[in-house]
Amino acid sequence: MRRDWDLILVGAGLANGLIAWHLRHSRPELAVLLIDRDRHCGGNHTWSFHASDLSPAQQQWLAPLIDHRWPGYQVRFPAFNRRLQGEYCSITSASFAVHLARALGETILTGTAVSRITPDTVQLPDGQTLHARAVIDGRGVQPSPHLELGYQAFIGQELQLPRPHGLSEPILMDATVAQGEGYRFVYTLPLTADRLLIEDTHYIDQQRLDPDHLRQAIGQYAAAQGWAGGELVREESGSLPIILDGNFEAFWAQAKGMPCSGLRAGLFHPTTGYSLPCAASVAELIAAAPTLDHPALFNSLREHARRQWAEQRFFRLLNRMLFLAGNPSDRWRVMQRFYGLGDGLIQRFYAGRITLADKARLVSGKPPVPLGAALRAMAFPVFPSRELP
């Protein structure tokens, strides 16, 4: 194993995996090492996104990694069902691992838990020290006292059904189900004609829900839809951070000059916790970097995150409306109102690119939560240094 690298990526999850994939194609001259503690890259996920979340160039370099594409999707609320046009795509971590292994070969080191890293060194468990112009820490989310969070907690089960399910497009939110401690919906992806991924999802204040309760709810939902008798093929679970507020400077000061990527760098959509589009942008940022020396790389990642943080201010405000105003079991009303808005606005919302007019539209009209509570949530003073929305 060589000791000196241009870049060492610690954690071969979505963010670092995409950096490695993109660099292999756009900067093949670079010596990049990807390290993960697991036996393969990518963990156990199905990563989905709207094609419109990505630029045409990003769609092109990500295309070989995509396992499923659908031309549109549905949402279901007590007041209406709606179909939205626009390609929805999924990447499974299993095929992500295979693609990375093929593209990167021996520059992937799996089964290697790393605990000692600096911005330019990585100490392996056997004591060996590797050097690089920069090391990027992409080991996933880490708790921070500088972010005020809600959570999107879910369990997803991939079920092999005894007969075709008849669903041709995803149901991104079925919120006609009984509500729980927060906003609850079921998310369903038709992976093949007789295989579904069904996720029972909750926007809640605490990080965890009883997993058995969620599994039971998936079984009941499947039966109610006429999809009973499915065999469990795979299960995934998550508790994704939803940002209500935070102190950006203090959050990044924790990194102490260590370049970070993915959830560790706070680079995700504040309302969904999804990070694929952010990860694609960071991969391009690194590929275009004039130098990979760690001080410069750290600064450009922090500046990128700072711009994103500023752009996401309005999303944090909406999150506070969702989590802090009104009764948790009424959170679905906020989402139902949102999905009654125009296609373009919904698309721009998920891409994190809303306009001033969109913002006005989102907060105009009668709020779906009590007005006084909405105003208090908007001014929620957790972090005194936060700019007012």
Ligand X SMILES: Cc1cc2nc3c(=O)[nH]c(=O)nc-3n(C[C@H](O)[C@H](O)[C@H](O)COP(=O)(O)OP(=O)(O)OC[C@H]3O[C@@H](n4cnc5c(N)ncnc54)[C@H](O)[C@@H]3O)c2cc1C
Q: Contact residues for ligand X (CB under 6 A)?
A: 10-16, 35-38, 43, 45-49, 113-115, 138-140, 236-238, 240, 262-264, 273-276
10/362 with CB nearer ligand X: 10
Write down the least CB distance from residue 61 to ligand X, Å.
Answer: 16
Residue pair 85/71 in contact by the 8 Å Cβ criterion: yes
Rounded Cα distance between 305 and 267, Å, is 7
238/340 with CB nearer ligand X: 238
Rounded Cα distance between 237 and 209, Å, is 11
259/262 with CB nearer ligand X: 262
The Cβ of residue 301 has, within 10 Å, a number of other Cβ atoms equal to 24
Rounded Cα distance between 174 and 84, Å, is 14
Write down the least CB distance from residue 46 to ligand X, Å.
Answer: 6
Write down the least CB distance from residue 230 to ligand X, Å.
Answer: 19
Q: Which residue is nearest to ligand X (CB)?
A: 13
Helix then strand count (H, E) for the chain reads 12, 14
* 242, HSE (Cβ side, Cα atoms, 13 Å): 24
Q: Angle, to 10 degrees, between the axis of helix 294-311 and the axis of helix 276-287?
A: 140
Tracing tokens 């992976």 back to the chain, one arrives at: 191
Residue pair 33/109 in contact by the 8 Å Cβ criterion: yes
53/245 with CB nearer ligand X: 53
Write down the least CB distance from residue 267 to ligand X, Å.
Answer: 8
35/374 with CB nearer ligand X: 35
Residue pair 221/177 in contact by the 8 Å Cβ criterion: yes
Residue pair 273/240 in contact by the 8 Å Cβ criterion: yes
Write down the least CB distance from residue 183 to ligand X, Å.
Answer: 17
Write down the least CB distance from residue 364 to ligand X, Å.
Answer: 29
53/148 with CB nearer ligand X: 53
